[in-house]
Amino acid sequence: MNKYLAEFIGTFWLVFGGCGSAVLAAAFPELGIGFAGVALAFGLTVLTGAYALGHISGGHFNPAVSVGLWVGGRFDAKDLVPYIIAQVVGGILAAFILYLIVQGQAGFAGTGGFATNGYGDLSPGKYSLVSALIIEIVLTAVFLIVILGATDKRAPAGFAPIAIGLALTLIHLISIPVTNTSVNPARSTAVALFAETAALSQLWLFWVAPIVGAIIGAIIYKVVGNEARS
């Protein structure tokens, strides 16, 4: 159970830290951290979570990553569903606690978008479904390539969380205007449950696209990695 609990805690931290920065600090009057701050917050949650818990569970904190690692031959199929359940539940608990916190602000008028992901009217930049689908697939594929490469036995030991955290930061810097950045179905699901928008109706894309992207990334790395070994 330790590895499932580690995934629960790690995903809790990712959602609480990343989405919390977006909900509480991104647009704070005069001192808001903006897109760059939110991007860094997501990267830091993965970096710190991976160093703290990666030796216990592998530090996935993301259903798409678990699927990609399974496709890449780095993860046992029997743990796939329990990992995904732990990740989603951990994310939902984090979103619930954020929901309780935001209600304590003077003049609270509802959760609004609550750092959810979306396309069309729910996209920060009003990007289309096709744009959202493409960017989530491409960025999740690259994310998996970075993860598989950084954790390869031939890679320098001890630096994987840094590479992975910086990759997630860069991913957010690219795609926050398009989808508010998912690449993680657990993160998308957690906050969608508490938003006052139609985020739940668009949630399917933020499961399908990251998982498809993760599978593509894993296949690409298997090909490239095997070629490098030969």
Structural domain tally of the chain?
1
Please state, for a pLDDT cut of 70, what percent of the chain lies above it. Answer: 98
- Is residue 228 in some structural domain? no
Please state, for a pLDDT cut of 90, what percent of the chain lies above it. Answer: 93
Whether the Cβ atoms of residue 53 and residue 6 lie closer than 8 Å to each other: yes
Give me the CATH number covering residue 26: 1.20.1080.10
Which pLDDT band, with edges at 50, 70 and 90, does 30 fall under? Answer: confident
Whether the Cβ atoms of residue 115 and residue 179 lie closer than 8 Å to each other: no
pLDDT over 70 (residue 230):
no
The pLDDT value recorded for residue 225 is: 85
Whether the Cβ atoms of residue 64 and residue 211 lie closer than 8 Å to each other: yes
Range of the domain at 49: 1-223
What average pLDDT does the structure give for the chain? 96
CB neighbours of residue 108 within 10 Å: 9
Average of per-residue pLDDT across 11-15: 98
Average of per-residue pLDDT across 76-80: 97
Q: pTM for this structure? A: 0.95
Which pLDDT band, with edges at 50, 70 and 90, does 175 fall under? Answer: very high
- Is residue 229 in some structural domain? no
- Is residue 86 in some structural domain? yes
Tokens for 138? 């491409």
What CA dihedral angle connects 42, 48, 53 and 54, to 10 degrees?
80
The pLDDT value recorded for residue 226 is: 77
- Burial of residue 230 (number of CB atoms within 10 Å: 0-12, 13-18, 19+): exposed
Which pLDDT band, with edges at 50, 70 and 90, does 228 fall under? Answer: low
Average of per-residue pLDDT across 195-211: 97
- Is residue 90 in some structural domain? yes
pLDDT over 90 (residue 29):
no
The pLDDT value recorded for residue 206 is: 98
Average of per-residue pLDDT across 66-95: 97
Whether the Cβ atoms of residue 210 and residue 136 lie closer than 8 Å to each other: yes
The pLDDT value recorded for residue 227 is: 65
- Phi-psi region for residue 110, left (φ > 0), alpha (ψ -120 to 50) or beta? left
Average of per-residue pLDDT across 50-62: 97
- Is residue 230 in some structural domain? no
CB contact set of 177 (below 8 Å; sequence gap of 6+): 35, 123, 124, 125, 127
CA pair distance 221, 224, nearest whole angstrom: 5
CA pair distance 179, 34, nearest whole angstrom: 15
The pLDDT value recorded for residue 139 is: 98
